Each structure stands twice: as structure tokens, then as C-alpha cells.
Amino acid sequence: MDHPYLQSTLREMHAILQSRRLWLTFLAVLAIFIVTGPFGTSETMSFADRLLYWTIIQAGAWTFAISFSIIANRIFADSIRNMLARMMIGSLAAALPIGLLLTITNRVFSGAEMGFGPFVQSSLSSLPLCAIFCLLSYLTASQSLETAPIAATDIGKNTAREVKSTVPLLERLPPQKRGELLRLSVQDHYTEIVTTRGHQLVLLRFSDALKEVGQTEGLQVHRSHWIADADAVSLRKQAGRLHVITRDGTEIPVSRSYNAAVQARFAALAPAR
């Protein structure tokens, strides 16, 4: 259950499902299909049957398309750089389970024939919808996971502009979390950015995040951790391993290859014995 792909996929799914726009779009599309009764459902089904039929179809199709697009985004993260291309591959692949869902649901509601032919036809007819679902997922994911609103809030606009100009990485955070940069840590395919105003997971390679710390003075202390000078308050040795203690009491492990650099950098913070 702690596989990195599973953790990051669930995290991304959670972020997308929190999107109000996605839910409003889903409800609007569902309402249109129920009221208009496309594909002959207005003639062959009552309103109650259409309500149940299209709710099953739309909920299942959206779930498959969005889930597959997120999974593909994780799997192909290292081989395909374009996020939309990765998600589109997964979403189009979801046409197969969606086609199966359509075939089974049509059989239950209208007694339609089941077989390879109807399955293929249903899968092909779902491809355009899969592409649309993918675009909606991409727009939501790119806002929730990769980017954040860049406009400064009414409070402290001048300060926000100055911080962003010196620390490009902070532009990826919501305005309310753009404080003094304290540290960075790797979390699966994400980088956790910690500031004086909170922390945020961003879909970004750790190496790329390090390039965006700007003028913030700090040091990489581990392959998965970077810490600002201002966040280090003491050093501690535990079981022969060095740790940096931060303002909030978090213990950041130091790799042996970084021991000398850390002790030289934070010479005034003598490790406890």
C-alpha cells in the first residue's frame, strides 16, 4: 500500500476531486444527457430510467478516464515530458473499460446484444469523450499540482512581488503560502516546499526545484533534502548519523557524503553528543 506510484496517484486523484469546476462540469454534462436523452434513450426510456442509466454511464466513464489519465501521468513521468500527452495516453486507453461498461449497461437496460462487436463499437464511440475528460483532468491537475495563482493578494503585494523575483520557486505556491523559503524535501514524484507560511506539494523534480531557490542561502544535505540557512537551529548526532534540527523541530537526515559540508556550513551549531 506504500508503493510510490500508488501514493502519488491517490494524492493527485484527491487534488483533482477537490476541483469545484470539475464537479460542476460533470453535473452539467450529466443533466444535459438525462434531459435530452441522446442516442435514442429519450424514446426508449422513462425519465427515471434515463436518470439511472446516464448516472451509471457518466460516473463510470469519468472515473475510468480520469483514473487512467492520472496513472499514465505517473507511469510515463520519466519517459514523456509533456504532461498532457501522458494523460491523453491513459485517458484513451480507458476507452476499453468504458466500452465494456457501455456494453453491459445496454444489455441490462435495453437487452442489447453482448459480444466482441458491440464492445469494439462502444469503445470506439467513447474515444472522443475520453479526450474531453482528459482535457478537463489536465486543466484541473495543472492548476492543483503544478501551478498556482500568481497574482498577489491585497495584503503585502509589494512584498510578494519582491519575494517572487528573488525566489522563482515561490511562484508555484498559492499566494497565502508564499513566505520565506525554509526547506525542500522529496515526496515520491513531488517536491514538498516548506515556507514560513506553510507547506505545499508541487509536481516538480527535486533537481529542478533546487534551480529555483533563487537568492535563498542554503545547502543540500541529502539527496532528498535541502535546507535554508535560516531554518537550521542545531545539529544532532544519533546512532552515528548527523541530523539538522529545524525551527519547528523537524529532524532532517544528513547523508554521509554531505557531512563535511554541513558541519563546515553550520560550524556554530555543534552537534549534541
Structural domains in the chain, CATH included, are: 4-146 (no CATH), 175-265 (2.40.50.1020)
Cα separation, 232 vs 254, in Å, equals 12
227, pLDDT greater than 90 = yes
Residue 174: what pLDDT?
85
Output the CA torsion sign for 93, 139, 207, 219: negative
Query: Cα 139 to the chain's mean position, in Å?
Result: 11
157, pLDDT greater than 90 = no
Q: Mean pLDDT of all residues in the chain?
A: 81
Residue 237: what pLDDT?
87
Supply φ then ψ for residue 114, to 5 degrees: -105, 145
CB contact set of 180 (below 8 Å; sequence gap of 6+): 163, 195, 196, 228, 230
Cα separation, 58 vs 109, in Å, equals 15
102-134 confidence digits (pLDDT tens): 999 998 998 888 888 889 988 898 888 888 877
**Higher pLDDT pick, 142 / 130:** 130
| β partners of residue 236 | 243, 272
171-189 confidence digits (pLDDT tens): 888 888 888 999 999 987 8
**Kind and range of the H or E run holding 104:** helix 95-110
Q: 3-state SS of the chain: helix, strand, coil percent to 5?
A: 60, 15, 25
28-32, 73-77, 81-85, 160-164, range with greatest mean pLDDT? 28-32
Determine the average pLDDT of the residues in 27-36: 90
25-39 burial code (b ≥16 CB/10 A, e <16): bbeebbeebbeebee
**Higher pLDDT pick, 203 / 147:** 203
pTM of the model: 0.52
Cα separation, 39 vs 18, in Å, equals 31
Residue 146: what pLDDT?
43
